[in-house]
Structure 1
Amino acid sequence: MNVMRSKMIYSSAVLLAMIMGLGSRAFGERLPPFAASHLGDALWASMIYFACRVLFTRKPLWQSLLLSLCFSFGIEFSQLYQGEWINGLRTTRAGGLILGKGFLWIDLLRYTVGIVFSYALDRFCWPQKSNNDA
């Protein structure tokens, strides 16, 4: 698959994950309680994985897996810091969506599930990729 086509597919996956994630927050009361509690964070992490694929299309998939886990965990651990300036950013809509509000251990599991699911989808749904992409 050529690089531009891959970037278009990954960009579409980023957009889809964003729409679904925002939808899971906006319509959470219509979802089963388990999905309403966990789906948004898993989709956020999925979006991060696919964004890594947009940026690093030529790199092996496992590098995007590790990079997106490190990024997501870094954002979550950054929530342990409650400085006035960053809390000010977190009160904005964009800041809250990107940086989160407060540290939760369960978020690390949600991120891991979202990223591993996205990696598996990427790895096994496009078999035309060569085996060295794994």
Structure 2
Amino acid sequence: MIAAANTRRRRLIMFAMVMLTIAAGLTSRRYPTWQPSWMAQYAGDTLWAMMVYWWLALLVPVARPTALAGWALVLSWAVEFSQLWHTPWLDGLRATTPGALVLGQGFLWSDLVCYTVGVLLAVLVDRAVLTFMRSSPNASP
């Protein structure tokens, strides 16, 4: 029973991380002048990969951060490499706001670096969350 409570608690935390990361990513794109130019250029892609990590952690809360990191990198990089593939229907999808946010618009090598940094940052935050959950009074033994 305690393990189930921790799973629910972790899912709630991961859902909050997804929402915070989406908000930060959209804000970074909407208000680029609020940031240094290098941050405005790379923050959205870095946060996008973090969001992928949080979604995976939400879906599989018992997975280890290293496994989640591997899958988040595979998914993020796959989406980036898919931008090299052009078909009318896929380009049409990418021309929409949701399609551009999820699938991107053009391949950039720098995005692969951003995705890697984003996933590594997510792992560090996730490990801190897990440490906090284990040390909190309601943690399972």
Instruction: Provide TM-score, normalisation by structure 1.
Output: 0.92
Quote the residue 2:108 is aligned against: 104
Quote the residue 2:69 is aligned against: 65
Amino acid at match of 1:46: M
Note the alpha carbon deviations across 1:103-132, whole angstroms, 9 max, x for none.
000000000001101101111343254xxx
Instruction: Provide TM-score, normalisation by structure 2.
Output: 0.88
Q: Aligned equivalents of 1:18 and 1:41: distance in 2?
A: 11
Residue 9 of structure 1 is aligned with which of 9, 13, 21? 13
Q: Aligned equivalents of 2:125 and 2:58: distance in 1?
A: 15
State the percentage of identical aligned residues. 36
Matched, 1:41 2:39: no
Q: Which has the larger radius of gyration?
A: 2
Matched, 1:121 2:104: no
Amino acid at match of 2:112: L
Q: Unmatched 5+ residue regions in structure 2?
A: 135-141
Quote the residue 1:132 is aligned against: none
* 1:19-38 equivalences in 2 (<5 Å): 19-38=23-42
Count, aligned residues: 130
Amino acid at match of 2:62: R
Structure 1 ranges of 4+ moved more than 4 A: none
- Could you say what the CA RMSD is over the residues aligned between the two structures, in angstroms? 1.4
